[in-house]
Amino acid sequence: MTAYLTRRLSRVALVGGAAVAAMMLSACGNGLASGGGEQSSDKGPIVLGMLTPLSGSSSAIGPYMKNGAQLAVDEINGKGGVDGRKLELKVEDEACDAKSATAGANKLVTAGVKISVGGYCSGATLPTLPIFEKADVPMLIPAANSNELVKQHKKNVFLINGTGAQQSDAAFKFMKKVGATKVALMDDNTSYSKDIADTTAKLLTGSPALAGRESVTAGESDYSANVNAILKGQPDFIYWTGYYQEGGLIIRQLRQAGYTGKVMVADGSVDQKLVDIAGSEAAEGVFATMTQTPETIQGADKWIADYKSKFGAAPGPYSTQAYDAVRVAAEAVKQAGSTDGDAVIKALEGIDGLQLFSGPLKFTPDHTLSSGGFQILTVEKGKIVLKDTLQ
Amino acid sequence: MTQLLWNGLFVGSFYALVALGYTMVYGIIRLLNFAHGDLYMLGAFVGFGVLSVAGGLATGLGFVALLIVLIIAMLVTGTAGLLLERVAYRPLRGAPRLSVLITAVGASFALEYGMRLLAGPNPEVYPVRLAGDSVNLLGARITIQQASLILIAILLMAGLQWLVMGTETGRAMRAISQDPTAALYMGINVDAVIARTFFIGSALAGAAGVMAGGYYGKIDFLMGFIIGLKAFTAAVIGGIGNIKGAMLGGLALGLLESIGTAWIGGQWRDVFAFTFLIIFLTLRPTGILGERVTERV
């Protein structure tokens, strides 16, 4: 009985081993023949990948980006695609968390994505850079904008949103403009948030001067201790660089603690929920640094109408950047004449004057926009409206 | 300085309310109910649901509406606590301690992500908000709402103290915590008393959830996680299994955080809180009020 079992088992193992070997051989064959195989796949759709938060703390943003990108894909396909090939968008959930983003990036690479047009949370986007780099996939990052993303000088990484440094510049410009003298900075210890706070702090050397810094832990409800600590420096301007969930609570608690000075938030906090959480009374007059949104772009009426008729809802933050990312990707493939990673990167570096929502596109040697396009919004009667284009 | 103390006491009273449920359950059946923080979240969402349905009527009534919602939420979370005990813990009462601990973690995830399916992943904002003028008392800004919330917390805690020390159920609870088998022989319905303990503990967590929702305004499906950890810390600092200890531990933790933040900066707040947990676990594992337990051979 036992001898029989052993025999059977060894036979199973042999057959299994042979099967695995055969599979590996055929896989190698595919790999070797990939030069020829590419020819046939060149006729199929060009797959674009997008990582965006569909769940988690920033899940409100994901659908905006997805829809914006889809709108561009449909428009380009409607005009016959790129070099006769259709575009196809594949979306994975980034959840604003490094683990989900890494898993999503691997999934996209396995699915044969040629260009990545996603990336919202910087902390989640950072670990995906090497994954796409290894697979020779150029990345056009529409939303994430931490300086960390470009600091590594990866050749496949392009930002089509202003960087943290450009955002700090805009913030600093506005602080000077409104005559702030003592500026306090608050961040939530994430890569995106700390980056803006750090670069802003470096600017605050003369007047306005830095009146204190405070980092909070995201996910709590009571920030009165932090608020208390930051008010000790008696600032007349407070800049919060984190996301809207904590931002709303902090604004409310600042006002409850009797702070009457100016408050500004960074682009991660620009969401109507910020006003809801803070309460419209506390949020009134709060400023925000923000890249262009559909509502604040002049001449985007037709685009907004297209978006509304297609998705049955108004476009939100980063829908225009996602839309532009797809257009830039299509343009680069067209100029490169292929979907080969290096050729596309070369084409991207060469693009000059493609009209985007943020202005004509030209990448700096760092692969960031030559003009950041940040502007100042403010809360007026409970709504976030454009205040100053800083032009 | 007075402001620091006041902030600490205010946050601490939330910790204390949640810590009470932790400590009661541990005191009676030696179970760390890791799903307890999520009952706080459940309470906040039940309150949100009721207020949304009641709509304009509730907004007009303000504080009174919140009180009514508080009672409804307490009943619902209490019942949820009962169910949790019946489904997840009672079948495992004879099982090794580790199995029950794992079930508790599982129950916590089930509650969190179940709520995400129901209410969505986005944070919600309470339709009725407590905001009002503040009074200056010895250099601290105190709002009437803060004071009322602390008062409600104190009343709930006092009620619990009376229940445990002055009623039949309370006596049965204390008997079971001493020796469940002997309590059974003495004619105590052990299952019923444990179920009641879960009901009360969960209702208190639910009450804290509604209070947090009404005061801070923002609720989300993961809000129970951090406060669950903090309440556990508070319970250990006060002496886990000890009801007065939980109240004391909650207030102590709130004060520690408040003063710690002012002293070494906000990013160290949680480090500070959990460092104290470790210090207590090494130097005085029984907590401030805990009694030394002698192993009987």
What would the DSSP string read from start to end of chain B?
-HHHHHHHHHHHHHHHHHHHHHHHHHHHH----TTHHHHHHHHHHHHHHHHHHHTHHHHHHTHHHHHHHHHHHHHHHHHHHHHHIIIIIGGGTTS-HHHHHHHHHHHHHHHHHHHHHHH-SS-EE-SS-----EEEETTEEEEHHHHHHHHHHHHHHHHHHHHHHHSHHHHHHHHHHH-HHHHHHTT--HHHHHHHHHHHHHHHHHHHHHHHHHHH-EE-TTHHHHHHHHHHHHHHHH-TT-HHHHHHHHHHHHHHHHHHHHHH-GGGHHHHHHHHHHHHHHH-TTTTTPPPPPPP-
Residue in chain A closest to B145 (alpha carbons) equals: A256
Out of A59, A225, A273, name the one closest to residue B266 (CB).
A225
Rounded to a whole number of angstroms, the distance from the CA of A26 to the nearest CA of chain B is: 43
Interface contact flag, A215 B265, Cβ < 8 Å: yes
Interface contact flag, B7 A281, Cβ < 8 Å: no
Measure the CA–CA gap between B133 and B142, rounded to whole angstroms. 8
Report the residue of A59, A93, A222 to disrupt the B interface, i.e. the one with the largest count of B CBs within 10 Å: A222
Rounded to a whole number of angstroms, the distance from the CA of A211 to the nearest CA of chain B is: 14
Given the DSSP bridges, would you call strands A383-388 and A375-380 parallel, antiparallel or unpaired?
antiparallel
pLDDT given at position A38: 42
Task: Band the pLDDT of B12: cuts 50, 70, 90.
Answer: very high
Rounded to a whole number of angstroms, the distance from the CA of B205 to the nearest CA of chain A is: 15
Interface contact flag, A224 B7, Cβ < 8 Å: yes
Residue in chain B closest to A282 (alpha carbons) equals: B131
pLDDT given at position B139: 73
pLDDT given at position A29: 41
pLDDT given at position A4: 54
HSE, CB side, 13 Å, CA atoms: give it for residue A11. Answer: 6
pLDDT given at position A24: 47
Given the DSSP bridges, would you call strands A139-141 and A157-159 parallel, antiparallel or unpaired?
parallel
HSE, CB side, 13 Å, CA atoms: give it for residue A280. Answer: 8
Q: Is the peptide bond before A208 cis (omega within 30 degrees of 0)?
A: yes
Given the DSSP bridges, would you call strands A262-265 and A209-215 parallel, antiparallel or unpaired?
unpaired
pLDDT given at position B293: 56
Please provide the average confidence, as pLDDT, over all residues in chain B: 86
Q: What are the φ and ψ backbone dihedral angles of A290, each rounded to 5 degrees?
A: -155, 145
Task: Band the pLDDT of B32: cuts 50, 70, 90.
Answer: confident
Measure the CA–CA gap between A45 and B170, rounded to whole angstroms. 71
Interface contact flag, A216 B267, Cβ < 8 Å: yes
Which of A312-316, B108-112, B118-122, B182-186 has the weakest average pLDDT?
A: B118-122
Interface contact flag, B217 A277, Cβ < 8 Å: yes
Out of B4, B225, B226, name the one closest to residue A228 (CB).
B4
Interface contact flag, B216 A215, Cβ < 8 Å: no
Contact A251, A240 (CB under 8 A): yes
Instruction: State yes or no: pLDDT of B77 exceeds 90.
Output: yes
Residue in chain B closest to A247 (alpha carbons) equals: B218
pLDDT given at position A141: 93
Interface contact flag, B270 A248, Cβ < 8 Å: no
Packing angle of the helix pair A319-336, A341-350 (nearest 10 deg)? 110
Chain B residue set in contact with A, beta carbons under 8 Å: 3-4, 7-8, 10-11, 14, 116, 121-123, 125, 129, 131, 134, 141, 143, 212, 216-218, 220, 222-223, 225-227, 257-258, 261-262, 265-267, 269-270
Q: Which residue has the tokens 């070369």?
A: A346
Instruction: State yes or no: pLDDT of B226 exceeds 60.
Output: yes
Q: Which residue has the tokens 């979240």?
A: B41
Interface contact flag, A279 B129, Cβ < 8 Å: yes
Give chain A positions within 8 Å (CB) of B257. Answer: 225
Contact B149, B215 (CB under 8 A): yes
pLDDT digits (tens, 9 = 90+) for A351-390: 888 888 877 888 888 898 877 678 899 999 988 888 887 7
Other Cβ atoms less than 10 A from the Cβ of B131: the count is: 16
Interface contact flag, A228 B3, Cβ < 8 Å: yes
Residue in chain A closest to B139 (alpha carbons) equals: A257
Rounded to a whole number of angstroms, the distance from the CA of A179 to the nearest CA of chain B is: 28
Given the DSSP bridges, would you call strands B124-125 and B218-219 parallel, antiparallel or unpaired?
antiparallel
Q: How far out from the chain centre does Cα A323 lie? A: 12
- Complex ipTM, two decimals? 0.82
Report the residue of A61, A188, A194, A220 to disrupt the B interface, i.e. the one with the largest count of B CBs within 10 Å: A220
Out of A217, A221, A277, name the one closest to residue B270 (CB).
A217
Give chain B positions within 8 Å (CB) of A249. Answer: 216-218
Rounded to a whole number of angstroms, the distance from the CA of A191 to the nearest CA of chain B is: 14
Other Cβ atoms less than 10 A from the Cβ of A234: the count is: 12
Out of A55, A219, A249, name the one closest to residue B121 (CB).
A55
Rg (CA), chain B: 19
Residue in chain A closest to B140 (alpha carbons) equals: A257
Out of B121, B225, B266, name the one closest to residue A56 (CB).
B121
Give chain A positions within 8 Å (CB) of B225. Answer: 219
Give chain A positions within 8 Å (CB) of B44. Answer: none
pLDDT digits (tens, 9 = 90+) for B268-285: 888 888 888 898 888 887
Residue in chain B closest to A224 (alpha carbons) equals: B7
Measure the CA–CA gap between A104 and A90, rounded to whole angstroms. 10
Measure the CA–CA gap between B98 and B104, rounded to whole angstroms. 10
Other Cβ atoms less than 10 A from the Cβ of A341: the count is: 19
- pTM of the complete model beyond 0.95: no
Task: Band the pLDDT of B294: cuts 50, 70, 90.
Answer: low
pLDDT-flagged residues of chain A (< 50): 1, 17, 20-40
Contact B145, B135 (CB under 8 A): no
Taking the CA atoms of residue B193, residue B194, residue B198 and residue B201 in that order, the dihedral angle to the nearest 10 degrees is 70
Interface contact flag, A222 B11, Cβ < 8 Å: yes
Measure the CA–CA gap between A175 and A185, rounded to whole angstroms. 12
Out of B122, B134, B258, name the one closest to residue A59 (CB).
B122
